[in-house]
Amino acid sequence: MAHPVRFGVDRLLEDPTLRRPLAGRRVALLAHPASVTRTLVHSLDALAALPDLTLSAAFGPQHGLRGDKQDNMVESPDYTDPLLGIPVFSLYGEVRRPTAAMMDTFDVLLVDLQDLGCRIYTFITTLRYVLEEAAKHGKAVWVLDRPNPAGRPVEGTLLRDGWESFVGAGPLPMRHGMTMGELAHWFVATLQLDVELRVIEMQGWQPDAAPGFGWPLGERTWINPSPNAPNLWMARAYAGTVMLEGTTLSEGRGTTRPLELFGAPDIDARTLIAEMRALAPEWLTGCVLRECWFEPTFHKHAGRLCNGVHIHVEDPAHYEHAAFRPWRVQALAFKALRRLQPDYPLWRDFPYEYEHERLAIDLINGSPLLREWVDDPAAAPAALDALAGPDETAWLETRRPLLLYPG
């Protein structure tokens, strides 16, 4: 029988020898709602209960330490924890980088963030920022590693030079296939940071093992790392469906299955699926597309009946982990819609993650390449493969020496 997976935070809590280097040092924690132990105690509370650890501050990323905020550019304030009496600093409020005053509250920062395995997920950018500030201020960063629930597959074009943003921390593909601990090593190497970094690795994590393929399904409870990440199926689809945030199509916010489905009141989903199958059936393997109807209670198209597509990846009978390519599935949906309705107002022009000039769809993809492919009537699916394929191959080689866990 396989040994149960032990996350970084659980190992730190259970093994006093791992904590020994923290003796006499002020410790802060960067965490969110999914930062919980095996027994579902929040990491902040579990660490605060340790008699040999001095907890001096806490930090929350986008959506807050306890998960209080819903959407893009909805900020969290700083406050004092009512039980622990320590300051809780928001890294998604007045600042996104910790200030010198914030950095002065600790000696070692523990980072315990559940990621989704997608470049756009802003916890990756926050990790980069705290590593950079720790290097400037002579602080240590310990990453308490957690699984990448999307597993090891890689997909998408690399972020291009000049396209760094809060949703683009560096030249990663959309689906990078690394854990936060592995990404921390990549940031240190890529940015040439002189910083004390330690990763408390997981034990027993098998990223290619069925049925979770990255997430220890049946062993650990899924807790939303952000309000619209309700389950593993969303995490699997997210590297594609997140692009919907840059469009006028609903991504299912305001429904019980956000970022697993998409639609609008003025599309014909059945015809759209048929067009997708005609264009590139090889891009649709590993999942099932189902026509659906939904009415968002808030966000885009709130209170209006939408015809849409649900991307199903939950049933082992039809989910093929190695074959499923969510970025291409969603890109194909855009292409099919553009072919069926050439004048459809697809791209949404609005302030996105503190960017007011460039289109959200381009920020999300780290370049205008995908949008230009969708809008070019002569560009076939093979043209997007020609853009993404070399980037995917290059990334596999880049990350190879940084992987901490065997396949």
Identify whether residues 213 and 259 lie together within a single domain.
no
**CATH number of the CATH domain containing 157:** 3.40.50.12170
For the chain, what is the radius of gyration of the CA atoms? 21
Task: Examine the pLDDT at 134 and tell me if it is beyond 80.
Answer: yes
- Contact between 150 and 118 under an 8 Å Cβ cutoff? The reply is yes
Looking at residue 133, what is its pLDDT?
A: 98
- How does residue 71 score in pLDDT terms, banded at 50, 70 and 90? low
Looking at residue 28, what is its pLDDT?
A: 98
| Structure token pair of residue 193 | 């940071």
Looking at residue 66, what is its pLDDT?
A: 81
Q: What is the pLDDT of residues 364-404, one digit of tens each?
A: 999 999 999 999 999 999 999 999 999 999 999 999 999 99
Tokens 């940084």 sit on residue: 402
Do the domain assignments include residue 113? yes
- Cβ atoms within 10 Å, residue 24: 8
Looking at residue 63, what is its pLDDT?
A: 85
Longest dimension (CA), the chain: 66
Query: Structure pTM?
Result: 0.96
- How does residue 76 score in pLDDT terms, banded at 50, 70 and 90? confident
**CATH number of the CATH domain containing 286:** 3.90.1150.140
Identify whether residues 157 and 267 lie together within a single domain.
no
Could you give phi then psi for residue 3, rounded to 5 degrees? -75, 145
Looking at residue 187, what is its pLDDT?
A: 98
Looking at residue 221, what is its pLDDT?
A: 97
Identify whether residues 220 and 295 lie together within a single domain.
no
Do the domain assignments include residue 197? yes
One-letter amino acid for residue 280 of the chain: A
Report the alpha-carbon distance of residue 41 to residue 34 in Å, rounded.
10
- How does residue 355 score in pLDDT terms, banded at 50, 70 and 90? confident
Identify whether residues 315 and 331 lie together within a single domain.
yes
Do the domain assignments include residue 330? yes
Do the domain assignments include residue 390? no
Identify whether residues 84 and 14 lie together within a single domain.
yes
Looking at residue 237, what is its pLDDT?
A: 98
- How does residue 161 score in pLDDT terms, banded at 50, 70 and 90? very high
Identify whether residues 221 and 238 lie together within a single domain.
no
Please report, for residues 236, 258, 290, 331, 386, the alpha-carbon distance to residue 381 in angstroms, rounded to integers and kept in the order given.
Answer: 22, 27, 22, 9, 9
- How does residue 1 score in pLDDT terms, banded at 50, 70 and 90? very low
Looking at residue 77, what is its pLDDT?
A: 80
- Start-to-end CA distance of the chain, whole Å, equals 18
Identify whether residues 245 and 175 lie together within a single domain.
no
Look at residues 51, 9, 53 and name the one whose alpha carbon lies nearest to residue 30. Answer: 9
Tokens 């043209």 sit on residue: 383
> Buried b / exposed e across 170-182, counting CB within 10 Å, b at 16+?
bbbbbbbbbbbbb
Identify whether residues 59 and 87 lie together within a single domain.
yes
- How does residue 354 score in pLDDT terms, banded at 50, 70 and 90? confident
Do the domain assignments include residue 3? no
Per-residue three-class SS string for 229-297: CCCHHHHHHHHHHHHHHHECCECCCCCCCCCCEEEECCCCHHHHHHHHHHHCHHHHCCCEEEEEEECCC
Q: What is the pLDDT of residues 104-117, one digit of tens each?
A: 999 999 999 999 99
What is the rounded average pLDDT of the residues 280-290? Answer: 98
Do the domain assignments include residue 134? yes
Query: Domain count of the chain?
Result: 2
Identify whether residues 127 and 155 lie together within a single domain.
yes
Do the domain assignments include residue 40? yes
Looking at residue 407, what is its pLDDT?
A: 72
Proportion of the chain above pLDDT 70, given as a percent: 97
Identify whether residues 49 and 187 lie together within a single domain.
yes
Please report, for residues 98, 371, 374, the alpha-carbon distance to residue 327 in angstroms, rounded to integers and kept in the order given.
Answer: 32, 13, 13
Q: Is the peptide bond before 211 cis (omega within 30 degrees of 0)?
A: yes
Do the domain assignments include residue 381? no
Lowest mean pLDDT among 91-95, 171-175, 329-333, 401-405: 91-95
Identify whether residues 195 and 275 lie together within a single domain.
no
One-letter amino acid for residue 225 of the chain: P
- Residues of the domain holding 197: 8-226+397-402
- For 282, counting Cβ atoms within 10 Å of its Cβ (0-12 exposed, 13-18 middle, 19+ buried), the class is exposed
Looking at residue 390, what is its pLDDT?
A: 98
Task: Examine the pLDDT at 14 and tell me if it is beyond 80.
Answer: yes
- Angle (CA) 366 339 248, round 5°: 50
What is the chain's mean pLDDT, rounded?
95
Q: What is the pLDDT of residues 291-305, one digit of tens each?
A: 999 999 999 999 999
Identify whether residues 308 and 217 lie together within a single domain.
no
Q: What is the pLDDT of residues 174-226, one digit of tens each?
A: 999 999 999 999 999 999 999 999 999 999 999 999 999 999 999 999 999 99
At a CB cut-off of 8 Å and minimum separation 6, what does 216 contact? 4, 5, 147, 205
